[in-house]
């Protein structure tokens, strides 16, 4: 009952945002809730941050990327990636070597231990995605994918 406050009388003159119907706000809540749910799953078993998991997921899909390419694909900045990688390498979940033809670049891949963890976490993540989609009817699922395709900047664009 504590939340039953009436909108401020100032509404008329000030036109405040109605957050509960404001798309950016709703998307943010939804996204954070989902990401956190998945993070809770893997953090209950492994001491790993969301950024580290994201890096691992990219390396599972694309072997041998450089740090910059990981940053591109995760939409994280390069400093965040660099730090996540050094933790992952220290923890023995990622192997890092140097590119043959360009000694600036690193060549990254999951280690055996990294793969073991990946193979345990990935199904949990997929299960959460299914849980989410189960709340929708089949046609809603189709529309959602179509809408995301339209709203998301094309592959390869950066956000910041």
Question: Of 24-32, 41-49, 83-91, 94-102, which segment contacts a copy of itself by CB under 8 A?
Answer: 24-32
Quote the least distance from Cβ 56 to DNA, whole Å.
14
Which token pair is 42?
């893997």
Binding flag, residue 95, a copy of itself (CB under 8 A): no
Q: What single string gives the DSSP state of each residue in the chain? A: -TT-PPPPTTHHHH----GGG-HHHHHHHHHHHHHHHHHHHHHTTS---HHHHHHHHHHHHSTTB-HHHHHHHHT--HHHHHHHHHHHHHTTSEEEEE-SS-TTSEEEEE-HHHHHHHHHHHHHHHHHHHHHHTTS-HHHHHHHHHHHHHHSPPTT----
Residue 45 Cβ vs a copy of itself, minimum distance, rounded to whole Å = 17
Least distance in angstroms from the C-beta of 121 to a copy of itself:
9
The item of DNA, a copy of itself, none sharing an interface with residue 91, based on CB under 5 to 8 Å by kind, is: none
**Please, which residue, 15 or 79, has the CB nearer to DNA?**
79
Query: Pick from 42, 72, 84, 93: which binds a copy of itself (CB under 8 A)?
Result: 72
CB of 45 or CB of 144, closer to a copy of itself? 144
Contact (Cβ atoms closer than 8 angstroms) between residue 81 and residue 55: yes
- Minimum Å gap between C-beta 16 and DNA is 20
Q: How far is the CB of 89 from a copy of itself (least distance, A)?
A: 18
Question: What is the total count of residues that contact a copy of itself (CB under 8 A)?
Answer: 74
Residue 61 contacts which entry, a copy of itself, DNA, none (Cβ below 5-8 A, type-dependent): a copy of itself
* Angle, CA 56 vertex, CA 96 and CA 67 arms, to 5°: 45
């Amino acid at each position: 009952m504590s939340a039953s406050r009436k909108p401020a009388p100032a509404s008329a003159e000030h036109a405040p945002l109605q957050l509960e119907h404001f798309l950016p706000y709703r998307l943010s809540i939804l996204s954070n809730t989902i990401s956190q749910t998945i993070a809770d799953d893997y953090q209950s078993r492994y001491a790993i941050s969301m950024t580290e998991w994201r890096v691992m997921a990219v390396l599972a899909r694309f072997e041998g990327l450089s740090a910059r390419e990981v940053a591109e694909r995760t939409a994280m900045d390069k400093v965040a990636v660099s730090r996540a990688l050094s933790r992952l390498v220290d923890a023995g979940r990622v192997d890092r070597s140097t590119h043959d033809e360009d000694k600036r670049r690193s060549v990254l891949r999951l280690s055996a231990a990294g793969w073991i963890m990946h193979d345990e976490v990935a199904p949990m993540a997929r299960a959460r995605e299914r849980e989410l989609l189960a709340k929708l009817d089949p046609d809603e699922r189709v529309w959602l994918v179509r809408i995301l395709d339209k709203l998301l900047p094309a592959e390869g664009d950066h956000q910041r």
